[in-house]
Amino acid sequence: MRPFTFTQAQDVDTAVQEVSLEGAKFVAGGTNLLDLMKIDVMSPSHLVDITQIALETIEETEAGGIRLGALAKNADTAYHELVETRYPLLSHAILAGATAQLRNMATDGGNLLQRTRCYYFYDTQTPCNKREPGSGCSAIQGYNRDLAILGTSEHCIATHPSDMCVALAALEATVHVTGKNGERAIPFADFHRLPGDTPHLDSNLQPDEIITSIELPAKGFAKHYTYLKLRDRASYAFALVSVAAALELEGDTIKEARIVLGGVAHKPWRVPEAEALLQGQKATRDNFRKVAEAYLQGAQGFGHNDFKIELAKRAIVRALEQATNR
């Protein structure tokens, strides 16, 4: 690891000031940043430890939802009573990711900002537009089995690897942030970006901004939900395709459906117009398949990952069936 200077911020304002230093970065759980620093993919010259700031509380909001402090640990979030009972989709998604050890360290804010697992991004010997803008993308012509099939650009086909974020997108969370210009709230759908011609930017968070909390609205879909994660091993592997599915049912008629895909794009992939096809419809396999087709419209494989298109469709159908029967 390259040498760096280090400070501990005790409050949000100090953290925001200190991160404005040239080459500075926040560190929370460290499970992604330190990993990337060890192999020189990221090399901040100053780290601001934010773990002393009191931002780990999980509490109910006046609006009837809950607020997850940005420094709440992934494990503490997944096992929190409010989350387990009212937002079990989120709990399941978090527990589908990483390992017990990692979840004990990883924070909710850090989870949102974890970087892609594209092999070329990790390999500093190869060109990668995300790591080194303008150098080219090694994955498009290279080995791309794990990479994206939706929302790609000619500059980058990376995926966002988080499981937690797929559930947060389905639950329509809001990300609260504070920067030099004060506070703002970012709807989850606008938090992460598509690669376009700026693949080095993963999210719309500004460099001086700190995530303070993640807010969930009252509606938790605690009755009919599923987080389905398809991967190469039964545990401890990133998703090839994942689906967060949540349904509100009246008998076997669907009042509302939420479907978000993970492992297929640069951000959690949600298509509200396709979800709407299920509104007022019966919860049947045929209807689920129609939605699945609509979700994958425009999907493009790059050779090794072509299989993901059909896999994603089947995963949507299975997730919706599981959610119905739960």
Ligand X SMILES: Cc1cc2nc3c(=O)[nH]c(=O)nc-3n(C[C@H](O)[C@H](O)[C@H](O)COP(=O)(O)OP(=O)(O)OC[C@H]3O[C@@H](n4cnc5c(N)ncnc54)[C@H](O)[C@@H]3O)c2cc1C
Q: Quick check: 99 binds other proteins (CB under 8 A)?
A: yes
Give the integer Cα–Cα distance in Å for 304 and 243.
Answer: 21
Closest approach of Cβ 159 to ligand SF4, in Å?
9
Q: What is the CA radius of gyration of the chain?
A: 19
Question: How far, in Å, CA of 271 to CA of 248, rounded?
Answer: 17
Shortest gap between Cβ of 110 and other proteins (angstroms)? 11
Contacts of 13 (CB under 8 A, 6+ apart): none
The two three-digit tokens of residue 8, written as one number: 């501990």
Smallest separation, CB 68 to ligand X (Å): 11
Site membership for ligand SF4, residue 274 (CB under 6 A): no
Select the span of 150-158, 161-169, 177-185, 216-224 touching ligand SF4 (CB under 6 A).
150-158
**Beta carbon nearer to ligand SF4, 117 or 290:** 117
Distance CA 214, CA 174 (A): 6
- Match 């005790």 to its residue by tokens: 10
SS3 at position 67: strand
Contact letters for ligand X, residues 53-92 (x by CB under 6 A): -----------------x---x------------------
Angle between helices 307-325 and 285-295 (to 10 degrees): 140
CB atoms within 10 A of CB 131: 22
Asked if 264 touches ligand SF4 (CB under 6 A), the answer is: no
Taking CB within 5 to 8 Å according to partner kind, which of ligand SF4, ligand X, other proteins, none is near residue 156? Answer: ligand SF4
Q: CB burial class (10 A; 0-12, 13-18, 19+) of residue 2?
A: exposed
Which residues of this protein are in contact with ligand SF4, per CB under 6 A?
116, 118, 120-121, 128-130, 137-139, 147, 156-158, 199
Which residues of this protein are in contact with other proteins, per CB under 8 A?
1-6, 8, 22-23, 27, 29-31, 34-35, 37-38, 45-47, 49, 51, 75, 79, 98-102, 104-105, 234-236
Which residues of this protein are in contact with ligand X, per CB under 6 A?
25-33, 35, 50, 70, 74, 97-98, 102, 105-107, 109-111, 113-114, 161-164, 210-211, 238
